[in-house]
Amino acid sequence: MILREIGRGMHGKVKLAQDLDTGELVAIKVVDKQSRKRQLGYGPLRKSRDTDGEQRVRREIAILQKCFHPHVVRLQEVIDDYSSKKIYMVLEYMEGGEIVWRTPDDEPALSVSQARQIFRDLVSGLDYIHYQGIIHRDIKPSNLLYTKDNKSVKISDFGVSYFNERLAGPNAHYDDDIEKDLEETAGTPAFFAPELCSPQHLWKITKAIDVWAAGVTLYCLLYGQCPFTAASEYELFEVILNTPLVFPDAIQVGFETSDDLKDLLSKLLEKDPEKRITLDQVKRHPWVIEDLRHPSAWRREANPKKY
Please provide residue 288's backbone torsions phi and psi, each rounded to the nearest 5 degrees. Answer: -65, -40
**CA distance linking residue 280 with residue 147, whole number of Å:** 25
Alpha carbons within 13 A on the beta-carbon side of 38: 9
- 210 assigned to active site: no
Residue from 298, 301, 272 nearest 285 by CA: 298
Q: Are 155 and 161 in contact (CB under 8 A)?
A: no
Which helix H or strand E contains 87, and what residues bound it? strand 86-92
| Measured distance CA(295)–CA(302) in Å, rounded | 10
Query: Which candidate in 138, 210, 249, 259 is catalytic?
Result: 138
Rounded Cα distance between 123 and 143, Å, is 14
- 29 annotated as a binding-site residue: yes
Q: Do residues 151 and 189 make contact, with C-beta atoms less than 8 angstroms apart?
A: no
**Of 294, 125, 304, 121, nearest in space to 221 by CA:** 121
Binding residues for ATP: 29
**Binding site residue list:** 29
Which residues are catalytically annotated? 138
